[in-house]
Amino acid sequence: MKAKILGCSGGIGGRHLRTTSILINHSVLIDAGTGVADLSLAEMAMIDHVFLTHTHLDHIATLPLMIDTVGDMRDKPMVVHATEAVLQILKNHIFNWAIWPDFTEIPTVEAPFLQFSPLRVGQKIKVDGLTVTAIPAEHTVPAVGYHLDSGAGSLVFTGDTTINDRFWPVVNKIGNLRHLIIECAFSNREERLARISKHLCPDMLAAELLKLERDCEIHITHLKPGQIELTMGELETCIGDFNPRMLQNNQVLEF
């Protein structure tokens, strides 16, 4: 199983900063940030399942546009998987006819371009040879992370989160864990902002990783533009023994 990083930045700008989105093989998308816009029409049309961590704009920005663009190129609805709380926010504030048409009714209610599928934390969903499990996240809005298991290996994506004691017991039970993608949105000088906005900074992440009991590759995501070098330098000081690596656009992780 291959995970291609379409976007992993905490902001936008230039040719290399795209917000969160991960494509699994060709048919499964984790979040729908601005990185999705770099896909071709054919590649977008192949996406059958979208798993959302939460509804902040950097994680859903291209979802309405993608469905509008490729809906008539497909023979079945694109399925958006998320918690009931997340789906309700999408219904109330995005697909509400005021911000964007409700594609769960277009072109007809019987055969729409979009279908919502609620999930619960801990629920396992099997799609295209992949088992996806929603895992706890702690953010300012309803949010989850995801455990992706190919059978041969697992990748865990925290989503946007802060200090979260519910997360680590779940991760520590994953025997085939290969990759952990974990956010670190702010540098230590912005620790107060990190705590208020329920993100992580290097000192906070260092304390969190002491709870990790599995060997795996650590990938840092959601770095804020303008603080990337500072934050990665602080991470090297704080968690250098974990060999953290900055996640990159177009990087491919196998699991």
**Residue range 184-237, pLDDT digits in tens:** 999 999 999 999 999 999 999 999 999 999 999 999 999 999 999 999 999 999
Tell which CATH classification among 3.90.1150.10, 3.60.15.10, 3.90.1150.110, 1.20.1250.20 matches the domain 2-254: 3.60.15.10
Q: E strands, 58-176, where?
A: 78-83, 114-119, 124-127, 130-136, 144-149, 154-157
Kindly tell me if the per-residue pLDDT of 14 is higher than 90: no
Distance, in Å, from the CA atom of 243 to the CA atom of 19, rounded to the nearest integer, reads 23
> Quick one: pLDDT at residue 15?
84
Distance, in Å, from the CA atom of 233 to the CA atom of 8, rounded to the nearest integer, reads 18
The closest of 224, 228, 227, 221 to 248, measured between CA atoms, is: 221
> What number of residues does the chain have?
255
pLDDT tens, position by position, 113-163: 999 999 999 999 999 999 999 999 999 999 999 999 999 999 999 999 999
Say if pTM beats, i.e. exceeds, 0.75. Answer: yes
Distance, in Å, from the CA atom of 157 to the CA atom of 112, rounded to the nearest integer, reads 30
Helices (H) and strands (E) in the chain, counts: 8, 14
Kindly tell me if the per-residue pLDDT of 57 is higher than 90: yes
| Overall average pLDDT of the 62-79 stretch | 98
Kindly tell me if the per-residue pLDDT of 44 is higher than 90: yes
Distance, in Å, from the CA atom of 36 to the CA atom of 249, rounded to the nearest integer, reads 11
